[in-house]
């Protein structure tokens, strides 16, 4: 009897050891602004990814082929700069030996990251609005954009604005004088002019805090609305706040990265009436589980609408790795990503890839988005819009 017990105990120990050995670590890189004007977006990226990884770990890991992997986030701050993005990418590729990276946010950082990931054959799920992120000489072989850019947001939003604000004839576009503004402003100008609007534009130096003189110049142009377009949350909120403080009472809205919560937090009551988009409907039934999980892990602070978006990106990445059956062959994972149409990660519905008409490659994830308005210190959903698949 004692011998049988010892044999069973030994067998159990071997099974436990085997299970432990079968679980390996899968490092996935994260790049985002954890300091500077885009900090709110960087934290959303980090937290959304971490939630997806924790969910997989709680379920026992990610089965890839005959092994089980525990995803591990290796996150670096790019300080919302091109130099920071390149440095983070180089470190992830060369020091951490990652094959998969999620982020960064913002065209300068993304473009710098792509320059490192493309020759290294590293799969990248990023979010910057410059068309050259996908439409480039390398034909964007390993880079995918996981949220709509101005090219996808712009046409349906400008048409919506035209239909709902017939009194607006002239729109001001104010943006940073870097790769973001230089790419986005010409796009938006073309969309506005196609809908019969006049456009006045001005670029400012990234990091500016005092916009009062710029507001005076804008108001002298007799514009009927201000579009904050692709401004990061910190600078966009200052533009909103100082426009109102300068006496601008006409519509202010934003075709660009979702940051309504941060705009409200910084601009306070002056954010009332502000209109923008959100990439997630927190009032939807499927949102409750995500929100509960976020609160449990990160407390009761602001939930940036990008957090579920990056959660979605992380789930898509892991599903592609699972289907490819490899954690080392980035080309196989890239191919699996391209064939992922129809997969539902649980928050946005089935995956839809688009972009062939605009970028020459179907690496643009198309997500439904929502027009929202700030009223009485809260967001109110106005209407859902869908980007066109081109």
- Provide the 10 A C-beta neighbour count for residue 350: 10
**Strands 252-253 and 225-227: what pairing?**
parallel
Helix (H) or strand (E) holding 40: helix 39-58
How many CB atoms within 10 Å of residue 14?
10
Render the burial of 113-148: b for 16+ CB within 10 Å, e for the rest: bbbbbbebebbbbbbbbbbbbbbbeeebebbbbbbb
Vertex 279 angle, CA 41 and 156, to 5°: 125
What's the distance, Cα to Cα, between the start and end of the chain in Å?
Answer: 72
pLDDT for the residue 256: 77
Beta bridge partners of 72: 27
Cβ count near 326 (within 10 Å): 16
Q: What is the pLDDT of residue 234?
A: 86
- 70 forms beta bridges with 25
User: Which pLDDT value is given to residue 11?
Assistant: 43
Inter-residue contact 80 to 72 (CB < 8 Å): no
* Nearest of 11, 33, 18, 15 to residue 127 by alpha carbon: 33
Task: Flag residues of the chain having pLDDT under 70.
Answer: 1-22, 257-258
Model pLDDT, residue 22: 54
Cα separation of 357 and 361, whole Å? 8
DSSP secondary structure code for residue 344 in this structure: B
Q: Which residue has the tokens 């503004």?
A: 181
Q: Which two tokens stand for residue 6?
A: 């010892």
Upper half-sphere CA count for residue 385 (Cβ side, 13 Å): 22
Q: Which residues share a beta bridge with 27?
A: 72
Is 50:297 a contact under the CB 8 Å cutoff?
Answer: yes
CA distance 28 to 318: 9
207: left (phi over 0), alpha (psi -120 to 50) or beta: left
Buried b (16+ CB within 10 A) or exposed e, 36-75: bbbbbbbbbbbbbbbbbbebbeeeebbebeeebbebebbb
Enumerate the β-bridge partners of residue 77. Answer: 32
What are 170's two structure tokens? 């002239």
């Amino acid at each position: 009897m004692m011998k049988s017990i010892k044999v069973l105990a030994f067998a159990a120990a071997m099974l436990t050891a085997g299970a432990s050995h079968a679980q390996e670590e899968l490092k996935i890189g994260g790049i985002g602004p954890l300091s500077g004007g885009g900090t709110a977006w960087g934290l959303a990226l980090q937290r959304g990814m971490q939630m997806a990884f924790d969910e997989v770990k709680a379920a026992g890991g990610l089965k890839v082929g005959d092994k089980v992997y525990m995803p591990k986030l290796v996150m670096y701050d790019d300080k919302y700069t091109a130099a920071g993005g390149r440095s983070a990418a180089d470190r992830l590729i060369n020091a951490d030996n990652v094959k998969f990276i999620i982020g960064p946010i913002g065209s300068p950082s993304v473009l710098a990251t792509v320059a490192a990931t493309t020759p290294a054959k590293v799969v990248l799920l990023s979010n910057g609005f410059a068309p050259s992120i996908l439409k480039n000489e390398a034909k964007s072989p390993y880079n995918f954009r996981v949220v709509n850019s101005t090219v996808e947001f712009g046409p349906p939003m400008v048409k919506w604005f035209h239909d709902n604000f017939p009194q607006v004839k002239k729109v001001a576009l104010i943006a940073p004088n870097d790769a973001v503004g230089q790419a986005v402003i010409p796009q938006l100008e073309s969309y506005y002019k196609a809908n019969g609007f006049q456009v006045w534009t001005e670029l400012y130096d990234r990091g500016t805090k005092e916009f009062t003189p710029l507001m005076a110049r804008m108001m002298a142009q007799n514009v009927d609305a201000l579009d904050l377009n692709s401004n990061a949350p910190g600078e966009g909120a200052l533009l909103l706040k100082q426009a109102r403080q300068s006496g601008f009472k006409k519509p202010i809205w934003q075709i660009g990265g979702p940051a309504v919560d941060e705009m409200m937090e910084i601009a306070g009551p002056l954010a009332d009436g502000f209109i923008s988009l959100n990439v997630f409907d927190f009032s939807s039934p499927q949102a409750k589980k995500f929100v509960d999980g976020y609160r449990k892990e990160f407390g009761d602070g602001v939930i940036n609408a990008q957090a579920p978006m990056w959660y979605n990106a992380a789930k898509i990445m892991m599903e592609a790795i699972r289907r490819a059956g490899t954690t080392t062959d980035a080309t196989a994972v890239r191919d699996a990503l391209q064939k992922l149409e129809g997969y539902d990660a649980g928050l946005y519905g089935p995956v839809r890839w688009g972009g062939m008409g605009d970028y020459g490659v179907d690496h643009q994830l198309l997500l439904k988005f929502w027009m929202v308005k700030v009223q009485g210190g809260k967001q109110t959903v106005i209407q859902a819009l869908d980007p066109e698949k081109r």
